[in-house]
Amino acid sequence: MRVDIVSIFPEYFAPLDLSLIGKARANGTLRLAVHDLRTWTHDVHRTVDDTPYGGGPGMVMRPEPWGEALDALAPDELSPDGHTLPRLLVPSPAGDRFTQAMAHELAAESHLLFACGRYEGIDQRVLDHAATRMRVNEVSLGDYVLFGGEVAVLVILEAVTRLLPGVLGNAGSLEEESHAHGLLEAPMYTKPASWRGHEVPEVLRSGDHGGIARWRRDESLLRTAARRPDLIAALPPESLDKRDRAA
Ligand SMILES: COc1ccc(Cn2ccc3ccc(-c4cc(N)[nH]n4)cc32)cc1
């Protein structure tokens, strides 16, 4: 997967040299490039923002630098390797909610292009023009307001990259994790069996794999019902058996 990120704070993405994403870049699973939007400014002050039409607080990101950046990173003509146009993702408080389902959808793409806004956002015409030639999605992490898109891109990129083949060592983790089956995961424990007077649930040390699976299922259901009843309501009816309903 190829990923391009455009930001006025490219140094925000230094963490992407670390850990499993860093390994994915080193082994070619992820080809990531971070670009400074000011590359596509031409004035001495390298201006990327201006006052909003219609008045109001703050500044808006100018369309010209973004237009040139997207032209450069998503050229219309097919590249020699038959490169298709990327999917443009624009973090925004007004975007569609980012979900694990969207992470899976994005993990199937060959080229993602992230536009990190700052100030009060990017001139709308940048997104409207881009949408005439590539898929554009405004994406929100949730109902809270960030300073800009960079942190959102780090989150989205981590959620997507861990789904790429070979990135997560034990593929089993993908299957068992929260939101994989629509439920929150059960509590996890490791050694020692007793710690500051807190014991590991006996069933987890019993070797009874059926009992362990049932305990984990029950704990997932109880935790999900308590913290995220919306996920219970969203489950397909057939996924809850009689025992589940009794939990
Ligand atoms: C109320 O209108 C606002 C508009 C923009 C901003 C600051 N800002 C600028 C670019 C940008 C990109 C993403 C986000 C964001 C995404 C989520 N889930 N929360 N916040 C915030 C962003 C603040 C407020």
Contacts of 139 (CB under 8 A, 6+ apart): 89, 90, 91, 92, 95, 96, 97, 98, 102, 152, 156
- Ligand 1 interacting residues, C-beta cut-off 6 A: 91-93, 117-118, 120-121, 140-142, 144-149, 152
Expressed in angstroms and rounded, the spacing between residue 56 Cα and the centre of ligand 1 is: 15
Query: What is the residue with the minimal CA distance to atom 11 of ligand 1?
Result: 148
pLDDT tens for 152-183 read 999 999 999 999 999 998 665 665 565 558 89
Expressed in angstroms and rounded, the spacing between residue 150 Cα and the centre of ligand 1 is: 10
Note the pLDDT of residue 174.
64
Note the pLDDT of residue 172.
55
Note the pLDDT of residue 111.
97
Question: Which residues of the chain fall below pLDDT 50?
Answer: none
Contacts of 15 (CB under 8 A, 6+ apart): 21, 154
Contacts of 26 (CB under 8 A, 6+ apart): none
Q: Which has the closest alpha carbon to 21: 195, 193, 154, 178? A: 154
Please give the model's pTM, rounded to 2 decimal places.
0.92
Note the pLDDT of residue 245.
73
Note the pLDDT of residue 239.
80
